[in-house]
């Protein structure tokens, strides 16, 4: 039952991540950097401590009493994760939206799910699965199979994206003119690796989540693990992400002379702030439910791959619902559907693997 709940929580988180950008489409008259950082203030500064306040009593004391090295590495992973988000845009620019996103998320899935288990192989930590556990057990092998199937699904979605570009735009489009395989792969590899640092940040801050879990378990004996223990870790990670994105967006505001967006009465200011806040809050919910899912599943590798898989699944499904694939060939439409179904299969395999562990 715990594994099923874990998968459900990860689906809700993936739905939030795959849907958060939709409210931004309602923002009018603002530059990208203005609405991005406005939503980001909610994503990275306002909502995380509010969520921790509502779920973890005296969470500030847990942060204050943590070792400096724990805070340093957790924050540092957040900074690197923020850079990964920025290079994501460059990877998409040179490879195209579908191909670039698929490569980045595929790499992020692999790095984010496997590297922590390699780390814990050399640094033994109670309750953490190692790469040996994954390779040497039936449940671990099933999780690895699910990871491989997920990457295959992402590749298929990327192929569908490339076919879509040809069907709708042809070789003369501005996007194809910017196509640069060397630059695109370089930025995509950087983004895929650094975006996975959010997963590393969760692992780096596990001492804080363990304290939150111990306090809750002591007060609620016999009720399992604490669903919201990662909420205290998110605060520190997202401080790092806020640092990177704030510096970049302020630079763009200065470069593009767009500081006036925030007070421009000629734009629907209230609606812009509201939609940006909704987008930012929705974005954070992905990790709120990610933490709940990880608490139920009990290991980071499968949680991360489920999270990434559901993001791809929901984002591509929105593309179908919003007619983004309208006008493409039957072959292209079939390819994207096969890609989505392959990702669904990967989710089922990972979920089954976790049920074997239990």
Instruction: Give the number of other Cβ atoms within 10 Å of residue 25's Cβ.
Output: 10
66, 303 contact by CB (below 8 A): no
Instruction: Give the number of other Cβ atoms within 10 Å of residue 262's Cβ.
Output: 16
How would you label 298-336 residue by residue, b for 16+ Cβ within 10 Å and e otherwise?
bbbbbbbbbbbbbbbbbbbbebeeeebbeebeeebbebb
Distances in whole angstroms, Cα of residue 285 to Cα of each of 108, 247, 291: 19, 24, 10
107, 193 contact by CB (below 8 A): yes
Per-residue DSSP letter, 43: I
Per-residue DSSP letter, 170: -
Distance CA 210, CA 215 (A): 9
303, 297 contact by CB (below 8 A): yes
Residues 6+ apart with CB under 8 A from 302: 113, 143, 146, 350, 353, 354
Instruction: Give the number of other Cβ atoms within 10 Å of residue 356's Cβ.
Output: 14
pLDDT in tens, 145-193: 988 887 888 788 778 777 876 776 654 444 445 556 577 778 878 887 8
**Which has the closest alpha carbon to 86: 242, 199, 217, 218?**
242
Distance CA 253, CA 328 (A): 37
Per-residue DSSP letter, 339: H
**Is the sign of the CA dihedral 337, 338, 339, 340 positive or negative?**
positive
Whole-number CA gyration radius for the chain? 20
| Predicted local distance difference test score (pLDDT) of residue 300 | 59
| Predicted local distance difference test score (pLDDT) of residue 172 | 46
103, 276 contact by CB (below 8 A): no
Distance CA 133, CA 140 (A): 6
| Predicted local distance difference test score (pLDDT) of residue 187 | 83
Find where tokens 């845009």 sit: 89
| Predicted local distance difference test score (pLDDT) of residue 240 | 96
| Predicted local distance difference test score (pLDDT) of residue 255 | 95
- Phi then psi for residue 171, to 5 deg, are -80, -10
**Which has the closest alpha carbon to 40: 286, 341, 311, 246?**
246
Distance CA 197, CA 212 (A): 22
Give one DSSP letter per residue of 268-323, joined into a string. -HHHHHHHHHHHHHHHHHHHHHHHHHHHHH--HHHHHHHHHHHHHHHHHHHHHHTT
Question: What DSSP element (H or E) covers 7?
Answer: helix 2-19
Terminal C-alpha separation, the chain = 9
Distance CA 235, CA 41 (A): 12
**Which has the closest alpha carbon to 190: 299, 315, 94?**
94
Which ranges of the chain have pLDDT less than 50? 171-176
264 SS3 class: coil
């Amino acid at each position: 039952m715990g594994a099923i709940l874990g998968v459900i929580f990860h689906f809700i988180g993936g739905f939030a991540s795959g849907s958060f950008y939709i409210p931004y489409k309602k923002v009018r008259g603002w530059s990208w950097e203005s609405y991005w950082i406005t939503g980001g203030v909610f994503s990275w500064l306002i909502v995380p401590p509010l969520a921790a306040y509502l779920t973890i009593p005296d969470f500030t004391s847990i942060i204050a009493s943590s070792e400096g090295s724990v805070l340093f590495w957790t924050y540092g992973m957040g900074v690197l994760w923020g850079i990964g988000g920025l290079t994501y845009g460059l990877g998409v620019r040179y490879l195209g939206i579908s191909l670039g996103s698929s490569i980045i998320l595929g790499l992020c899935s692999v790095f984010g799910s496997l590297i922590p288990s390699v780390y814990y192989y050399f640094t033994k930590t109670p309750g953490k699965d190692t790469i040996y556990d994954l390779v040497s057990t039936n449940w671990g092998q099933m999780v690895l199979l699910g990871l491989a199937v997920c990457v295959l699904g992402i590749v298929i979605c990327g192929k569908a994206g490339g076919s879509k570009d040809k069907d709708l735009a042809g070789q003369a489009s501005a996007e194809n003119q910017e196509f640069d395989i060397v630059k695109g792969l370089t930025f995509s590899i950087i983004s895929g690796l650094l975006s996975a640092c959010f997963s590393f940040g969760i692992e780096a801050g596990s001492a804080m989540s363990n304290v939150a879990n111990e306090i809750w378990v002591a007060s609620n004996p016999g009720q399992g693990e604490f669903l919201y223990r990662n909420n205290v870790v998110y605060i520190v990670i997202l401080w790092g992400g806020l640092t990177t994105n704030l510096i970049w967006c302020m630079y763009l505001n200065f470069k593009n002379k767009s500081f006036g967006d925030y007070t421009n009465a000629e734009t629907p200011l209230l609606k812009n702030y509201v939609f940006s806040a909704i987008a930012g809050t929705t974005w954070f919910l992905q990790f709120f439910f990610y933490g709940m899912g990880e608490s139920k599943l009990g290991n980071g590798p499968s949680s991360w791959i489920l999270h990434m898989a559901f993001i791809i699944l929901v984002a591509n499904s929105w593309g179908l619902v919003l007619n983004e694939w309208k006008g493409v060939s039957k072959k292209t439409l079939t390819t994207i559907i096969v890609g989505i179904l392959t990702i669904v299969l990967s989710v089922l395999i990972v979920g089954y693997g976790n049920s074997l562990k239990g």
